[in-house]
Amino acid sequence: MSLPRRAADLVRSWPLFRQLTGPDPLGRGAAVESNGPRDHARTADADTVTRSVCPFCAVGCGQKIYSREGRVTHIEGDPDSPISRGRLCPRGSSSLSLVTSPSRLTRVRYRRPGGTDWEDLELGTAMDMIADRIIESRARTWEDTDGEGRVLRRTLGFAHLGGATLDNEENYLLKKLYTALGAVQVENQARI
Amino acid sequence: MAEAHPVGFQWVMEAKARGARIIHVDPRFTRTSAVADAHVPIRPGTDIAFLGGLINYVLENERDFREYVVAYTNAPMLVREDFVDAGDDDGLFSGWDPETCSYDTTTWQYEGADVAAASGDRDAWDSDTHQPEMRRESHRLTHLLGQSESAGSGGATVTGEPVRDDTLQHPRCVYQVLRRHFARYTPETVSRVCGMSPDQFRTVAEAICANSGRERTTMWIYSVGWTQHTVGVQYIRCASILQGLLGNIGRPGGGIMALRGHATIQGSTDIPTLYDLLPGYIPMPHAHKKMTLADFVEADAASKGFWGNMPAYMVSLLKAWFGDAATAENDYCFDLVPRITGDHSTFTTVLNMIDQKCEGYLVLGENPAVGTTNSKQQRLGLAALKWLVVRDLQEIETATFWRDGPEIETGEMRTEDIGTEVFLLPAATHVEKAGSFTNTQRLLQWRHQAVEPPGDARSDLWFAHELGLRIRAKLAGSGLSRDAAIQALTWDYPTEGVHGDPDAHAILKEISGVDADGTPVSGYTALRDDGSTACGCWIYSGVYADGVNQAARRVPAGGESPAALEWGWAWPMNRRVLYNRASADPEGRPWSERKAYVWWDPDEQRWTGHDVPDFEADKPPSYRPPDGAVAQDAIAGDEPFIMQADGRVWLYAPTGLADGPMPVHYEPEEAPTRNALHPLTRANPARERFVRDDNPYNPSDHQPGSEVFPYAFTTFRIAEHHTAGGMSRWTPYLAELAPEMFVEVSPALAAERGLEHTGWATIVTARSAIEARVVVTERMKPLRIAGETVHQVGLPWHWGPNGLVTGDAANELIGISLDPNVHIMDTKTGTCDVVAGRRPRGPELPTFVEGYRKRAGI
């Protein structure tokens, strides 16, 4: 096919061109549909459909997660939800991009003190180092009592931030662990 | 609401289609205003004047729902004789101590009732020395801590029988105290302070009065526009007073609906990653020389309402955490719980980092380097740490401040000089782990796991569990007393899947509670204070009743009930409308057939209706407590507010608040105008300020230098981005929909400052300067305040330096000043300058801001 011919085909397949020249001048039908193969929906070949909840705001819209061979292929609103009745907003509709983003972190990144770039680190090594840092900071800053003899049994040597995007079960384990370690500076986005 | 909670907004539209009238009160004309019946403009930071005006309108015209008010609110209670209302000039209640900038709240109490001692007082009891300086110290501490050490979210306990006048005529009854207090909020005053016309105000007032009573109810919906102020708690108090007077609480179509901003921000306060709370709003213990478990729960043990069972909730929590190690003999390990001594909130903690007192930080799913007020201060804190752990989906700004943060560009920091060791761990998304979110209506919904997370990505459940395993292994042989708690901790969870995730169901079961045999309990009324039950969060008790994950229920549309009772599980006990006993009259009959919701069935001798009754199911309306009754037994059959110490809506708060028993209009920390109501006290006198070089405030209110920052700004969200952008700036569709930071300005301000639509503007405060694309729009209206024109600008806060789309963060501009009750920051008001063009780059930026500070005399 010659180049001008290919260019002409491309222009003819452009939705705006089809709308202006075809039988759908208002652009409410076939003119605005994409040119890709439409033999089946992305949801049709999913091997699992999982019930979930949108991770953005606190309305709590229902989501159905379609996946195939261990990869998420589609996310859409759950029509059974009495909260959302199948709807998702722009943010909720972007959930698939959130999950499958090519820029997502998948490896541990480590920056040593004074370092100018990231380094690689094994996850297990990182977890061990973090446990050591907590134990060391806690030992350095532990307070049994204050100057007036009031019981404290705590450390102000390390702190935590985050929770409003975590699960209840995650917040529970974190609060339980930190409290047992004597850490009180445990906070998240909420004030009450 | 159409912007920030679009899918929730479908119900507002559905109500409108059925005849409801929608009024949108907002500084900006938004997508919500576009579909509302009316848009009422308001100056940011003046909602107490607006709501106070509505309260005044209700009281002056006697439009309150009188039977509801007499029976269900504290309107008849008498306030002590020595209580003095906020003065016209100074706006201060009795008990103000200018030296400590805090209140002695003794005079605010009911006549005839004692209020349990607040924190700090306990040591004074021990030594039996009620010295004035001891009292002052105790009030200072209570103020710092923001709440008392009793009754959790109940705030305070009342014992004894308050004196009442059910005719509401006694000059010291709450009803009359309210009338006098709110009389100053006339329609004309509201107009002068808030900027709306008196007619606009009267239209709203008439609409809500006409739409309340037996046959109708009015609902208020709010978001952080009401809470993120130095008077944030008093905003909500104001709405509670109004709704209490109109009889709109505990009834269908009524209430005060908080639209929260994150998927489970409600859950993260119920099971708090918060410094001052234990699960279920049990307060963290404060430091005392000696305090046993009995002392800790004592203040509540004799009180009325369900907080009276605090010993059962607390002992069950300790049993869940310390298992067999927690015994009656060792006070159930109560002495292993750390103590708090003041404000340990995130703001104070970051200041401690800058001051080298706090050396480590774990940040999970949050991005303070751009998402927290005064972001530069946050980054200064991060740069002063020894170590930092960040867990997120992308390389957010909090993880990269050392490489390419704004201070690297300005030369204020050098990468090589920053000693912070950074661990950036990839996190799992919501579809790669199982667990529950609690949405804004207290509804727990379970998410099943769809796929495994990629590479090193793990759930935060895995992280917490794994971290605990490693720390416990390392400290297993320690003989130090400080390690006793971590050694005694129950941490034996079953694991599953390729990564060894702890089984989230097992954790939900622990949260819900079990009896001595390990059988799930039915709910919080089954909890005991004798160590025979264990429960991780008493208000969630019952979510695993019958061994079934109730949060995972997904009957289509929630089943037959109009309250959708078979979809998920709402705390407490799957009740969807709190205090719904108030939907029936004192005799237990619906106030009207139209508004019938929960009622007493005399044949069955039970409460019944469309929801789970928020009341003991078999307690008849005629029940009267016997002498000496405690806890729920002290709540009469016609007192619906079962968590309150007197079973009633508090129109007046005799205790529990740091800044007054009734709301008062104060101007924000930075305002473009004087306080028209109380000229001698410009801003909330009890607010928490941080006067430091890294947190300068703009001069306000016609003070010298205030002319340097002549405009007001407010912040807002848009539908296309989420909070500080960590979950939206890396997403191609959302990035494309809203690619750049912008500032909304009025045509008048654009003309005044030479700003061009789609051109650039620089916005400056004493903290920093940012740049944004200019949107010239009639949506931003200049306001006439006290005879002067006040220009305001609107700033979304979704951008930062990283991601697919980048821009300056609005949080760079905002200083920290906090509400004294819950330490929430004011992000909704401030003053600034706006100039055309982009901001200076590199070292010229701090020089530029310094020039402004010098000119303003800061």
> What is the DSSP track for B701-719?
TT-TTGGGS-EEEEEE--T
Residue B134 placed within a domain: no
Give the per-residue pLDDT at B298.
77
**CATH no. for residue B785?**
2.40.40.20
What chain B residue is nearest to A81 in terms of C-alpha separation? B557
User: What is the predicted ipTM?
Assistant: 0.95
Q: Suggest the residue from B431, B475, B493, B549 to mutate for an interface test with chain A (most A CBs closer than 10 A).
A: B431
> H/E element holding B392?
strand B387-392
Of the pLDDT bands very low, low, confident and very high (cuts 50, 70, 90), residue B853 is very high
Task: Report residue A128 as tokens.
Answer: 């061990």
pLDDT digits (tens, 9 = 90+) for B275-297: 999 999 999 999 988 889 998 88
> H/E element holding B346?
helix B346-354
Q: Suggest the residue from B430, B478, B508, B811 to mutate for an interface test with chain A (most A CBs closer than 10 A).
A: B430
Q: Does B456 touch chain A (CB under 8 A)?
A: yes
Give the per-residue pLDDT at B143.
45
Residue B216 placed within a domain: no
Residue B710 placed within a domain: yes
Residue B600 placed within a domain: no
**Cα B848-B854-B857 angle, rounded to 5 deg:** 145
| For residues B603-620, average pLDDT | 97
Give the per-residue pLDDT at B127.
40
Last residue of a domain, one of B464, B483, B502: B483
* Cβ separation A131–B386 shorter than 8 A: no
pLDDT digits (tens, 9 = 90+) for B488-529: 999 999 999 999 999 999 999 999 999 999 999 999 999 999
Q: What percent of chain B has pLDDT over 90?
A: 86
The shortest C-alpha distance from A2 to chain B (Å) reads: 34
pTM: predicted TM-score of the whole model, two decimal places:
0.94
pLDDT digits (tens, 9 = 90+) for B627-680: 888 889 999 999 999 988 788 999 999 988 999 999 999 999 999 889 999 999
Give the per-residue pLDDT at A175.
98
What chain B residue is nearest to A188 in terms of C-alpha separation? B273
Quick one: DSSP state of residue B454?
Answer: P
Cβ partners under 8 Å of residue A142, min gap 6 = A154, A155, A157, A182, B482
CATH 2.20.25.90 boundaries in chain A: 48-100
* Cβ separation A99–B357 shorter than 8 A: no
Cβ partners under 8 Å of residue B787, min gap 6 = none
What is the average pLDDT score of chain B?
A: 93
Give the per-residue pLDDT at A40.
74
Of the pLDDT bands very low, low, confident and very high (cuts 50, 70, 90), residue B299 is low
Give the per-residue pLDDT at B140.
46
Which class would CATH give A48-100?
A: mainly beta
Give the per-residue pLDDT at A13.
79
pLDDT digits (tens, 9 = 90+) for A168-178: 999 999 999 99
Q: Does B854 touch chain A (CB under 8 A)?
A: no
Q: Which of residues 80-139 of B touch A (CB under 8 A)?
A: 123
pLDDT digits (tens, 9 = 90+) for B168-182: 999 999 999 999 999
What chain B residue is nearest to A134 in terms of C-alpha separation? B360
| For residues B296-316, average pLDDT | 82
Domain containing B733: what range? 688-856
pLDDT digits (tens, 9 = 90+) for B813-846: 999 999 999 899 999 999 999 999 999 999 999 9
Residue B1 placed within a domain: no
Please identify which residue in the block is written with the tokens 């229920």: B553
pLDDT digits (tens, 9 = 90+) for B699-725: 987 889 999 999 999 999 999 999 999
Give the per-residue pLDDT at B787.
79
* Cβ separation B7–A151 shorter than 8 A: no
Give the per-residue pLDDT at B156.
56
Residue B36 placed within a domain: no
Last residue of a domain, one of B483, B498, B525: B483
| For residues B113-122, average pLDDT | 47
Q: Say how far apart CA A63 and CA A76 lie, in whole Å.
A: 6
In this structure, are residues B287 and A151 in contact, taking their beta carbons and an 8 Å threshold?
Answer: yes
b/e B190-218 (16+ beta carbons within 10 angstroms → b): bbbbbbbeeebbeebbeebbebbbbebbb
* Cβ separation B394–A150 shorter than 8 A: no
Q: Say how far apart CA B655 and CA B147 lie, in whole Å.
A: 10
pLDDT digits (tens, 9 = 90+) for B414-463: 999 999 999 999 999 999 999 999 999 999 999 999 999 999 999 999 99
Q: Say how far apart CA A174 and CA B502 lie, in whole Å.
A: 13
Low-confidence ranges of chain A (pLDDT < 50): none
Residue B795 placed within a domain: yes
Give the per-residue pLDDT at B115.
54
* Cβ separation A146–B402 shorter than 8 A: no
pLDDT digits (tens, 9 = 90+) for B125-169: 334 334 445 445 454 444 444 444 544 444 456 667 789 999 999
Helix segments in chain A, DSSP class H = 3-13, 15-21, 90-93, 95-100, 123-141, 168-181
Give the per-residue pLDDT at B158.
64
Give the per-residue pLDDT at B519.
98
The count of domains in chain B is 2
Q: What pairs with residue B437 in β-bridges? A: B445
